[in-house]
């Protein structure tokens, strides 16, 4: 399946607030037509030769597009590199999405089994209802309002309730991967060393840095504080990438707002409700992409998200304490997986360095520093 075509390259969101050239070529109409011809039966009755791309996603880790099918509405097609997500990995995501959909959650519905062609894997998804009002926002930027934060909290609680009983085993480490294995390990430094041995690209990158000296003290100190509360991280399959641009919304005129659709299950895994809630706060309530001296910190959004979550799915006092102590280290394993991706898949030294110094180490030191401690006290 060729990825060449008439559509010009488009810019994608970079790791800071700038647009950059994509690592992955954008999807083309011809590629979509060939994909639909191969899929066949699941799209029976749709006119694949008339399908036309009407929008390219600016997300940087895959190529995704909104495709219009005349007389049949629009669907979403995503292309991944198999070194990031192969068809087997996508099928596991789809299985969890289907479980949630069967329990009333407004997740994107797969329209066909994932498939592979050469170095790429593809998924075809139905669109979700509602307004994509974070479409042009960078991922991990704060919510646009306190009301949106509260709506996100209620929706996350509903997903966690629906996920109960889904007992698939945890996924194995990969580039761009969420897990709480490092957090719950007896020694997180030893856990990182073991992960580096399992993931050669990550191991190669870390071997070039004095990572134990640069990371171990802050990580061990934070982990020691969290350790007595880790029993509250009860295993649960979760989304693990909960932020505004992965959600669809009621129109802006509706007050209070509500979440109407949930997308992007690429990081779903067997973690815990506390981990997922901490991730939602870490992703969405601090303006990480802004310079440190001008970084917005949204205590009001974090407290609204937590209160709204608890109004749907109550949390025991022990879970709230665990949430506070997990916040400083919730990002660690995903940051390591970003290093794995940037160093091992797309060979981007600057972005691997950014993931290591600004994300892995920087977020940890912010949360354990004066500003982060004040933030945690204010939302506790």
Share of the chain above pLDDT 90, in %: 81
Count other C-beta atoms under 10 Å from residue 30's C-beta: 15
CA distance 13 to 11: 7
**Is residue 160 scored above 70 in pLDDT?**
yes
Average pLDDT over residues 92-113: 96
47-51, 106-110, 159-163, 218-222: the lowest-pLDDT one: 47-51
User: What pLDDT is stored for residue 142 in this prediction?
Assistant: 92
What is the band of 2 on the pLDDT scale with cuts at 50, 70, 90? very low
User: What pLDDT is stored for residue 294 in this prediction?
Assistant: 81
Question: How confident is the model over 39-55, as pLDDT tens digits?
Answer: 875 565 666 667 899 99
What is the band of 154 on the pLDDT scale with cuts at 50, 70, 90? very high
**Is residue 291 scored above 90 in pLDDT?**
no
User: What pLDDT is stored for residue 5 in this prediction?
Assistant: 46
Q: Can you spell out the DSSP letters for 42-77?
A: GGTTS-GGG-EEEEE---SSSEEEEEEETTTEEEEE
User: What pLDDT is stored for residue 97 in this prediction?
Assistant: 98
Which residues of the chain form CATH 3.30.200.20?
12-126
Count other C-beta atoms under 10 Å from residue 197's C-beta: 10
User: What pLDDT is stored for residue 69 in this prediction?
Assistant: 87
Q: Give me the CATH topology for the region 12-126.
A: Phosphorylase Kinase; domain 1 (3.30.200)
User: What pLDDT is stored for residue 45 in this prediction?
Assistant: 61
SS (H, E, C) the chain: CCCCCCCCCCCEECCCCCEECCCCCCCCHHHHHHHHHHHCHHHCCCCHHHCEEEEECCCCCCEEEEEEECCCEEEEEEEEECCCCCHHHHHHHHHHHHHHHHCCCCECCECCCCEEECCEEEEEEECCCCECCCCCCCCCCCCCCHHHHHHHHHHHHHHHHHHCCCCCCCCCCCCCCCCCHHHHCCCHHHHHHHHHHHCHHHHHHHHCCCHHHHHHHHHHHHHHHHHHHHHHCCEEEECCCCCHHHEEECCCCCCCCCEEEECCCCCCEEEEHHHHHHHHHHHHCECCCCCHHHCCECHHHHHHHHHHHHHHCCCCHHHHHHHHHHHHHCCHHHHHHHHHHHHHCCCCHHHHHHHHHHHHHHHHHHHHCHHHHHHHHHHC
**Is residue 197 scored above 60 in pLDDT?**
yes
Average pLDDT over residues 363-375: 94
Which of 340, 315, 317, 301 shows the shortest CA–CA distance to 236? 315
pTM of the model: 0.94
User: What pLDDT is stored for residue 4 in this prediction?
Assistant: 45
Cis bond upstream, residue 367 (ω within 30)? no
Which residues of the chain form CATH 3.90.1200.10?
146-379
User: What pLDDT is stored for residue 48 in this prediction?
Assistant: 62
Question: How confident is the model over 243-289, as pLDDT tens digits?
Answer: 999 999 999 888 999 999 999 999 999 999 999 999 999 999 999 98
CA distance 142 to 288: 9
User: What pLDDT is stored for residue 3 in this prediction?
Assistant: 47
User: What pLDDT is stored for residue 140 in this prediction?
Assistant: 82
Q: Give 146-379's CATH code, choosing from 3.40.50.720, 3.90.1200.10, 3.40.1400.10, 3.30.420.40.
A: 3.90.1200.10
CA distance 88 to 121: 9
Question: How confident is the model over 111-143, as pLDDT tens digits?
Answer: 999 999 999 999 999 999 999 999 988 788 899
Alpha-carbon distances, residue 330 vs 99, 126, 334, 336 (angstroms): 25, 31, 8, 12
């Amino acid at each position: 399946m060729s990825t060449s075509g008439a559509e010009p390259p488009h810019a994608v969101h970079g790791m800071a607030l700038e647009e950059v050239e994509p690592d992955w070529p954008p999807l083309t109409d011809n590629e979509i037509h060939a994909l639909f011809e191969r899929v066949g039966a699941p799209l029976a009755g749709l006119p694949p030769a008339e399908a036309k791309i009407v929008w390219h996603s600016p997300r940087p880790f895959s190529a995704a597009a909104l495709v219009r099918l005349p007389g049949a509405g629009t669907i979403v097609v995503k292309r991944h590199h198999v070194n990031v997500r192969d068809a087997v990995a996508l099928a596991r995501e789809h299985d969890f999405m289907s479980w949630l959909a069967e329990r009333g959650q407004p997740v994107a519905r797969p329209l066909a089994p994932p498939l592979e062609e050469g170095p790429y894997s593809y998924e075809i998804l139905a669109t979700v209802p509602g307004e994509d009002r974070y479409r042009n926002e960078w991922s991990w930027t704060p919510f646009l309002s306190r009301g949106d934060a509260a709506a996100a909290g209620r929706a996350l609680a509903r997903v966690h309730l629906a996920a109960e009983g889904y007992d698939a085993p945890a996924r194995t480490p990969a580039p761009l991967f969420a897990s709480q294995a490092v957090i719950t390990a007896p020694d997180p430094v030893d856990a990182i060393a073991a992960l580096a041995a399992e993931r050669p690209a990550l191991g190669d990158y870390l071997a070039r840095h004095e990572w134990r000296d640069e990371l171990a003290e802050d990580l061990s100190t934070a982990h020691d504080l969290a350790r007595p509360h880790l029993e509250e991280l009860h295993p649960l399959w979760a989304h693990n990438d909960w932020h505004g641009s992965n959600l669809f919304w009621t129109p802006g005129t509706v007050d209070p707002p509500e979440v109407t659709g949930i997308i992007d299950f690429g990081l779903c895994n067997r973690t815990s409700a506390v981990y997922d809630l901490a991730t939602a706060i870490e992703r969405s309530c601090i303006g990480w992409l802004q310079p440190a001296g001008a970084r917005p910190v949204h205590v009001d959004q974090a407290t609204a998200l937590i209160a709204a979550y608890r109004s749907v799915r109550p949390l025991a006092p022990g879970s709230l304490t665990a949430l506070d102590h997990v916040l400083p280290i919730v990002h660690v394993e995903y940051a390591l997986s970003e290093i794995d991706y940037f160093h091992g898949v797309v060979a981007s030294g600057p972005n691997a360095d950014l993931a290591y110094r600004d994300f892995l180490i920087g977020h940890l030191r912010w949360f354990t520093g004066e500003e982060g401690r004040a933030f945690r006290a204010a939302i506790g």
